[in-house]
A and B are shown apart, each in its own frame.
Chain A
Amino acid sequence: MLSIEALSHTYGALTALTEIDLEVAAGEVVCLLGPSGCGKSTLLRLAAGLEPLQQGRVRLAGEIVGEPRFTVPPERRRVGMVFQDFALFPHLTVAQNIAFGLADLPKAEQQSIARLWVERIGLADLAGAFPHTLSGGQQQRVALARALAPSPRLVLMDEPFSGLDVTLRDRLRDTTLALLTEARVATLLVTHDPDEAMRMADRIVLMQAGRIEQAGQPLDLYDHPVSAFAAAFFGSVTILKAHAENGQVVTDLGRFDVPVQSGPVTMIVRQEALHRALEGGVMATVAAARSLGREHLLSLMLGATAVTARWVEGRLPKVGERIPVTLDRHRVHLFPPEG
């Protein structure tokens, strides 16, 4: 549905995006994931037509909507948008907000569609309320309904959950996903939260410094990161320096094959790579231990190497205690040093 080809963008001397290629199919949820300033919001604005395109091409359903010196204005793109601050119109009621994008339809039809949507988002009794009287979660649902009501081809969401508190987020992610799936709409969602991306996305596009670092299915990115950055972005890790010789590194954690013959390598150990061994395993010294309730967070010394670990098994070890641990080698990633 949305297709972005070879898109680059600069703000003065600052390069925001470099050679971006991206596809979003109908019914698919694609998450643009990355730290703040990686260019993901700029990409969203360019897809929406809120900014003129400098280089590259944007197509919607095969039709070119953005090229250098040619931009179809946002109002003619049939693209829905949901914002971090929801941007509900303060002078319009919930129903009027939802009906805002239906101006082409006769009044009666506008009203019946708006009614349908307030019911679908469970706010039927608040149809006549003004936005400032709603809770954050209710506002978010209205914003989503407003974007979906005109049956857009594509929905763009910019950090749609980060204005909400944590407990609310989980519930709203599921509701949102259900509504998006039901609408069979192509969705491009921007977030800096890897958990959110893992949870919502059919595909994740990980961005860094204006480039696509890695794109693929959520589990692919977690299991097979292409770089130390990609590996470290999902969850907490310990980053170690090691030295390769003859295509191998030997560390306190064991012997690993590496993609370089010799020279320095970066070793990423996920916190969930280490587990308390029930039998066998290597001995580690507990340097610090703290229970987070459902799991334990530990600093362990394996030989001279300090790593952090997070597991649920057993009781909380004491500081100074020596315990046997096993290493899940699929949760350890090795890369040649970057740049």
Chain B
Amino acid sequence: MALGLALLLALPVLTIVGSFLFPALDVWAHLLSTVMPTYLYNTVLLMFGVGLGVAVIGVGTAWLVTLCQFPGVRAFEVVLLLPLAFPAYVVAYAYTGFLDSAGPVQSLLRDLTGWGFGSYWFPSIRSLGGAISVMVLVLYPYVYLLARAAFLEQSVCVLEAGRALGQTPFGCFRRLAVPLARPAIAGGVALALMETLNDFGTVQYFAVDTLTAGIYRTWLGMNEPAAATQLAGVLLLFVIGLMALERHGRAGSTRHTSVRYRHLPRFPLTGGKAALAMIACLLPCLLGFFVPLLMLLSWAIETAPTMVNTAFWQAAEHSLLLAASAAGMAVALALTLAYAVRLHPTPLVRWATRSASFGYAVPGLVIAVGVIIPLAAFDTALDTASRAAFGVSTGLLLSGTLVALLFAYVVRFLAIALNATEAALGKVTPQMDFAARSLGRTAGQTLWSIHLPIIRPSLLAACLLVFVDVMKELPATLILRPFNFDTLAVLVYAMAGDERLADAAPASLAIMLVGLLPVLLLAGALARSRPGSLPRVSAREP
């Protein structure tokens, strides 16, 4: 059964891979002569910019908060996580309003200088540079989290030996700490870049022609599914590269020379240096969280009375319904798969489970395309068969329904649930299984009476993580939702598309508030965790 489930979950990705391996040559010729070079160019630039940005900010802040002492360092440890609560597109909308000609920044500039509207040059946020900035601000916490954990795990002895050998603190950072943490940093950057490729709302709104934006436009705008599928295949190649990078990061991160952990002595910073460190930590959370939050709040105060209306509540209900069902299904499936691996740890079952969790790296848009093709084929086949046999048309049974949407969510987010479940099951020793079995319980009863009670907190945390990710999810929802079925994310997207940024603010804030839950959970875990131990819960750590 587990094998069948795993195969079903791998179906969307296999569909894309299949059509990519057997391409229509004329489609390719067309793509290459028109949009492909632009898409590739922009995608590569975006990835490069975001990768560089998140690495610098993530590693820098992680180093400061783990190994230096300056006022507020404990608070910064947690506050630096806050941008994780925002989906990138919400921040993009907030900055558009913040920086446009009627926004607070330019108004202030005009008041100060006396310049008139349009009489001066101001950089446009709706550009590749803008997209890079927004994504760096939202995604640097991935690198921050993993780099911080890596710095904490580094043996104090290595750093102290470095000091004793005449290195300055900064020399230790550059020549010892960063090289040692490189696998973790690479892993964090890979995760951030996966999110970059997944992002659709930002690049679409900023009109940056990346592969992701291109797939959507080719599919819905130009109605060329074949070309969109090929583009999705190209995007998948990027993802496979990132997965390799991330896997490399995880493999390397377990190599420690010392298993002894000691509380790291922090380098005390004073005066100007302390001020600089504070600014360096303050800027990312200020720009990544507080500025967009204030912008949204100021809009929402204005628009909430009219915008928190029936449509809003209905969208909220839809979002909650979808997120709760997807979370429940993903965790139930994850538990089934993880327990199957535990009962029958054969290479085949292991491999199947691994491949089922492949979806975490695949952009939502690619999964949407991969879901729609087989489901539509199934519908068509069923319809044809039904008409031939009974003379009745079944119509579209699966595609364009909640079934398709939930399926896509589960494919995309199963890995989160699976990782949490596997880690939690690891806490139940095999001997406990044996003991329960020898005391007369079947495998199923053992799962129910032993494993479930022990791992319940982890399962709830996994539910929460999937729940929040579904709330934020935009591209797959956009493509697969039933006609006129709006979620909060879709509502925000639609209003932003109509340049009603202020009207979108209440819904944006609602999404952010839900997104804050796992961040707080993570912050709590960070605060409790002893130096050197990785927090159990993390936002999207496969």
Contact = CB atoms under 8 A, between A and B. Distances in A.
Interface of A: 48, 50, 73-81, 83-87, 89-91, 100-101, 103-104, 143, 146-147, 150, 152, 156
Nearest to A143: B435
Contact of B437 (A50, A85, A91): A50
A91 to B, nearest CB: 5
Contacts of A89: 432, 435-436, 450, 454
A91 B435 CA distance: 14
Given A81-B435, A91-B453, A75 B442 contact: yes
Nearest to A80: B438
Contacts of B440: 75-76, 78, 101, 103-104, 150
Given A89-B450, A90-B454, A91-B454, A83 B439 contact: no
12 contacts: A50-B434, A73-B437, A73-B442, A75-B440, A76-B440, A80-B439, A81-B438, A91-B454, A101-B438, A103-B440, A104-B440, A147-B439
Contacts of A86: 431
B429 interface: yes
A75 B450 contact: no
A85 B438 contact: no
A11 B375 CA distance: 43
Interface in B442-498: 442, 445, 449-450, 453-454
Nearest to A85: B431
Most buried by B among A74, A101, A150: A74
Contacts of A143: 435
B454 to A, nearest CB: 5
Q: Is the interface of A mostly helix, strand, loop or mixed?
A: loop
A330 B434 CA distance: 44
A104 B442 CA distance: 13
B439 A100 contact: yes
Given A87-B432, A90-B454, A91-B454, A147 B441 contact: no
A76 B436 CA distance: 12
Contacts of B434: 48, 50, 74, 81, 83, 87
B431 A150 contact: no
A175 B441 CA distance: 28
Contacts of B445: 75
B454 A146 contact: no
Contacts of A74: 434, 437-438
Contact of B431 (A78, A83, A152): A83
B459 to A, nearest CB: 14
Interface of B: 429, 431-432, 434-442, 445, 449-450, 453-454
B432 A79 contact: no
A75 B440 CA distance: 4
A152 B440 CA distance: 10
Contacts of A87: 429, 431-432, 434-435
Most buried by B among A78, A100, A152: A100
B435 A75 contact: no
Contacts of A150: 439-440
A223 B450 CA distance: 47
A164 to B, nearest CB: 16
B438 A100 contact: no
A75 B441 contact: yes
Contacts of B429: 85, 87
A80 B434 CA distance: 10
Most buried by A among B435, B439, B453: B439
Contacts of A156: 438
Contacts of B450: 89, 91
A75 B437 contact: yes
A115 to B, nearest CB: 18
A73 B454 CA distance: 24
A77 B438 contact: yes
Contacts of A83: 431, 434-435
Most buried by A among B432, B436, B438, B450: B438
A79 B438 contact: yes
A299 B450 CA distance: 55
A85 B441 CA distance: 20
A90 B435 CA distance: 13
A147 B436 CA distance: 10
Nearest to B453: A91
Q: In the A-B complex, list the 9 residue pairs whose CB atoms are closest, starting with the nearest.
A: A101-B439, A87-B431, A74-B437, A81-B438, A83-B431, A87-B435, A91-B453, A87-B432, A75-B440
Contacts of A77: 438
A100 B453 contact: no
Nearest to B441: A75
B297 to A, nearest CB: 44
Contacts of A84: 431
Given A48-B434, A75-B441, 6 more contacts: A74-B438, A78-B440, A83-B431, A89-B435, A147-B435, A156-B438
A100 B436 contact: yes
Contacts of B435: 81, 83, 87, 89, 143, 146-147
Nearest to A104: B440
Contacts of A103: 440-441
A251 B438 CA distance: 55
